[in-house]
Chain A
Amino acid sequence: MLIRRAERAARRGTLVGALGAESGGMDRRAFLRRSGLTAGALAAIGTLPVSGVRNAEAGPPPKPGIPVETRKSICTHCSVGCTVTAEVQNGVWLGQEPSWDSPINRGSHCSKGASVRELVRGERRLKYPTKLVDGKWVRISWDQAIGEIGDKLMAIRDKSGPDSVYWLGSAKFSNEAAYLFRKFAAFWGTNNADHQARICHSTTVAGVSNTWGYGAMTNSYNDIRNAKTLVIMGGNPAEAHPVSLQHLLEGKELNRANFIVIDPRMTRTAAHATDYVRIRPGTDIPVLWGMLWHIFQNGWEDKEFIRQRVYGIDEIRQEVAKWPPDEVERVSGIPGEQLKRIAEKFAKEKPATLIWAMGQTQHTVGTANVRASCIALLVTGNVGGFGNGANIFRGHDNVQGATDVGLDGSTLPFYYGLDEGAWRHWCRVWDVDYDWVQSRFASKQLMETAGVTSTRWFDATLMAKDQIDQPDNLRAMMVFGHAGSTITRMPEAKRGIEALDLLVVVDTVPTTWAVLSDRKNDVYLLPSGTQFESSGTRSASNRSLQWYDQIVKPIFEAKEDYEVIYLLAGKFGFAEQLFKHIKVENGVPSSEDLLREINRGSWSTGYTGQSPERLKLHRDHQKDFDLVTLRASDGPCKGEYYGLPWPCWGTPELKHPGTPTLYNTSLHVKDGGGTFRARFGVERNGVTLLAEGSYSAGSEIRDGYPEFTMAVLKKLGWDKDLTPQELAVIAKVGGNNTDAVAWSTDLSGGIQRVAIEHGCVPCGNGKARAVAWNLPDPVPVHREPIYSPRVDLVGKYPTLPDAKQFRVPNIGFTVQKSAVDRGVAKQFPLILSTGRFVDHEGGGEETRSNRWLAELRQDMYIEISPADALERGIKDGAWVWVTGAEYASKARMKALVTERVGKGVAWMPYHFAGWFQGVDQRRKYPQGADPFVLGESANTVTTYGYDPVTNMQEPKVTLCQITAA
């Protein structure tokens, strides 16, 4: 007869029994209290004192008597930025605990965050440097690897120039590593560097910053709790940002908010909507203009807001007039009346916010899409307040940070661009000679020309030399932490890899790069550590920076990213310059010093105030920060916003609290208030581009004003407020022309400090531009996707003409026309779209090697509607061939027959790799490092199509056919 556990425990006299840890411990009640809607609801239960001694936790399992440390890191999988709490004993990560104190996730995770410990258990990790020799993987040492790779790269450099090497970095780099990597690429002498933002939100950054100054999420996940109307258009946060739903759903419940989802699929997010409407992929602009049509028609626009803070609405009105309800329905499939209902809520039930992700960005009209979204917010006055704004949900955990620090071939860190002024600024910050840096490049012209984008690397490898705007083809790919299956046109990438002289992958797993091609030699795999084996900062989508600690040392022979870059820099002979002001200990550069260098140079974006010390204090006092406002009401961080969201103006000594909601004029700039950047000039065509009658609280200038420069300060007489030290630095920076020294180039931070003292925002107080005259489409215009099923519409709404962009031709127009002429839409009648599901991330390289995640969905699949399946004799769960419109591409996977997709639309996740066109590639992986789960890649069948502003790819809408296998 089994006895009750309590009796047994008492009999055996366990330590736990002695401490009386019966049910009802404080932690339990605290958890339940946090799960309730109102904080104090169940406070009547009272609190029990926390027991001082912690017993050995359950782990696998911890040994008694040895101390267990708790360390904090950040989840590696998405931009929400959940804190990960790790329990470590003897350098081994034993278990994860909920991170109650974080205002961002309050203990929660999704399946990926709840399983990150496995990444460091590392069953299928790349364990040591590996080289491909005659088709076999051979283990080598780090010395040999760096030596050989360095020699080969130098040989390529000598023969073809530095631009023949591509440095593909990662959105999983810390801010410090991404910044270092960009600096490294500059010292190597090329702008051919990029990371995942290219294929993710590059169009967002370009489009949104070209509208009102900065291209980032204006508010925060937490702030969305204040919204009364949420429109989620082009995003599926329930699967891509699950923990954000904690804020979205709790806000929805408390405010009885409108939760509107516009999506081609009835997603997991749409399941919790109050209104769901199905849209044809690629028709976002007609829908947004269709909404504005109703808004203008009924006078629902926010006229005061427009008058004060928006330029160019009249041109928008003209474009919107072309989209009455019946045209909207003809193009997008949504009846106009339904849009009216949504438009009315959006305009009247405020604050309203627009949320988007890849559904808007991954198109040839991505930049135009996001601009149309911004304009919709501007027209309704839904920017710059609590509960409204453009809530852009970024992807990877540090894609925001990596974008900000400029891991991008079209700019230097912090969006300074590539002109000489930008280079000189950074050379001052880096304390290196401008001429020396210029000498590293093939020419001054190439130094100031944007590099090839990650979406086109293989075109730059395979095309004839005279087609590309650099001396020679790309001959070597250096891939750090980037999947091999997330860029479109994989059959071409395979050929590209085979044509390279050298391929080096620096990652935690071999990745698809290692197995996609039929190469037999000159491929190196170098093991890097995950962020849990390193330290630094990461920027969440809401612009908060979080410092994280090293949980365990790099496992096996992995090295931290900083170390690898240091070794390469040493091989190329510029380590001393690269790490001039950065301490290197035991071969590992200091992440704190890297952040301090960032603080010294990032004036344009406001990464200057977030010193390591301030951020570590935030990490240690997470629980002081409010759930909704993110502001600490108590403790040593009192008054600051969690993570000091940028812009955090001035030096760390200024102690700016961070800016939780951008462009918010209801707050003083010292409290996180802001205005639209006066980025585009002072006036255009006789119309002022500065704000009229709108200014942040407490501003001494009660009107619009330009960006702050010494000249402006002098005009205002505020230059007298600068300290002598600040003036000295300004003089040094400005040389002969101190008047031109601006808020973004003044290395002392004095100009920013003085402006803020007078209640003004350093980047100026301008109007947002509805018309972006420097872009190919100044006013967003609908253009059909390159591969469109509606050949009748391509004539009226064609894509832009062919042009050269980022050193290579963009022949989208030719491809689109050819597709129409050849009747491609008849042969491939189904719209193919791609996207995410919750259990995997990105290309699935890490997650499919995590046994706890890999078990969940083990087969690659395509969603097909019941009607389309019936026509093709396809049963649910059956094998099918998916054929793509280019390269006679095909892929074999299972069919998921579901009503989630409408008739005529098919959808596949892009997380799988390891099969190619029906052939299992498992034997090509290095022994013991093959992922648990393999499958076809979605991008095997995706096609040509690039946004003209950023060369973003178009995996969200193309054409395919599906047949039973």
Chain B
Amino acid sequence: MARMKFLCDADRCIECNACATACKNENEVPWGLNRRRVVTINDGKPGERSVSMACMHCTDAPCQAVCPVECIYTTADGVVLHSKDQCIGCGYCFYACPFGAPQYPQVSNFGSRGKMDKCTFCAGGPEVHNSPEEYAKYGANRLAEGKLPLCAEMCSTKSLLAGEGEIVADIYKERVVTRGYGSGAWGWITAYGADTGV
């Protein structure tokens, strides 16, 4: 079985935000929710690197563990999805998530959260594949069509990679060897427990 992963090659990322808007476009994510974002370290200084970040679909996902209603699950591909029907908007998944992936729409009372929303690896949710219900709640289901997340497919510099973890790691390793430098597979140790080795 393939195990899906994301890898952002920070030495290629130029913070063009194609990943962020491709996701918005494909999944019609409302204003205020940012499934994917780019964070720039050392902005404006030598050493600056940008990293595109969304849900990493962790091994042994901490969000899944802390959810009080157990609405988060991991598919056979390693994609971490959840059910908005069951989510109660408690916010615990955000505290547990090392990557800040969960997003919550603001509902009226206090700073209260609505149903959690996050990157689905363009794999939809528990509804029927590609149905209007699935789209309305979770956005597109590209995986069911044999495609990959649009954020990675549209990345301007092929910095954001998504797909079978081994292939993604091999691509990254090959790049680092060829060019002679690499600032690492950001988040891999925290998400998957292991690095790419370069």
Contacts and interface: CB of A to CB of B under 8 A. Distances in A.
A contacting B, Cβ–Cβ less than 8 Å: yes
A34 B124 CA distance: 25
Interface stretch (B96-104, B110-118, B134-142): B134-142
Of the four ranges (under 10, 10 to 19, 20 to 34, 35 or more), the interface on chain A belongs to: 35 or more
Contact of A108 (B28, B154, B175): B154
Contacts of A269: 14
A55 B145 contact: yes
A397 to B, nearest CB: 15
B78 to A, nearest CB: 9
B146 A109 contact: no
A238 B16 contact: yes
A321 interface: no
A252 B28 CA distance: 36
A17 B129 CA distance: 9
B167 to A, nearest CB: 5
B71 interface: yes
A898 B42 CA distance: 10
Contacts of A117: 25
Contact of B130 (A16, A23, A36, A855): A16
A254 B145 contact: no
A59 B141 CA distance: 9
A108 B146 contact: no
Contacts of A898: 43-44
Given A61-B132, A900-B43, A34 B158 contact: yes
B18 A6 contact: no
A172 to B, nearest CB: 20
Interface in A241-264: 242-243, 245-246, 249-250, 252-254, 256
Contact of A27 (B16, B26, B146, B167): B146
Interface string A825-860: 000000000000011000000000001110110000
Contact of A114 (B25, B28, B81): B25
B4 A111 contact: no
A14 B132 CA distance: 14
A197 B77 CA distance: 50
Contacts of B123: 5
A23 B20 contact: no
Given A45-B167, A117-B25, A111 B16 contact: yes
A899 B40 CA distance: 14
A604 to B, nearest CB: 35
A2 B17 contact: no
Contacts of B170: 36, 42
B171 A115 contact: no
Interface in B66-97: 70-71, 73, 75-77, 81, 83, 86
Given A108-B157, A239-B14, A900-B44, A4 B75 contact: yes
Highest count of chain B CB atoms <10 Å: which of A24, A271, A898 = A271
Contact of A32 (B12, B130, B168, B180): B168
A617 interface: no
Contact of A838 (B12, B17, B129, B171): B17
Given A6-B75, A61-B135, A898-B44, A25 B147 contact: yes
A28 B122 CA distance: 13
Contact of A249 (B124, B140, B146, B157): B157
A31 to B, nearest CB: 6
Contacts of B171: 32, 35-36, 41-42
A4 B73 contact: yes
A16 B129 contact: yes
A246 B70 CA distance: 42
A8 interface: yes
Interface string B149-186: 01011111110010110011011001100111000000
A811 interface: no
A57 B20 contact: no
Contacts of A853: 21
Nearest to B14: A238
A276 interface: yes
B135 A2 contact: no
Given A58-B139, A58-B142, A856-B17, A23 B46 contact: no
Interface string A106-132: 011111111101100000000000000
A838 B164 contact: no
Nearest to A99: B154
A35 B154 contact: no
A266 interface: yes
Given A32-B167, A59-B135, 10 more contacts: A4-B73, A24-B164, A28-B163, A32-B171, A45-B167, A60-B28, A108-B154, A108-B155, A266-B44, A855-B31
**Which 9 pairs show the lowest CB-CB distances between chains A and B?**
A25-B146, A900-B44, A58-B140, A111-B17, A253-B179, A242-B16, A61-B135, A114-B22, A238-B14
25 contacts: A2-B70, A2-B73, A9-B129, A12-B128, A16-B144, A21-B144, A23-B2, A24-B164, A28-B163, A32-B171, A45-B167, A58-B139, A95-B140, A98-B150, A108-B155, A109-B154, A111-B18, A114-B22, A114-B150, A114-B154, A115-B25, A245-B14, A250-B158, A256-B180, A855-B31
Interface of B: 1-2, 4, 11-12, 14-22, 24-26, 28, 31-32, 43-46, 48-50, 70-71, 73, 75-77, 81, 83, 86, 122-124, 126, 128-132, 135-136, 139-148, 150, 152-158, 161, 163-164, 167-168, 170-171, 174-175, 178-180
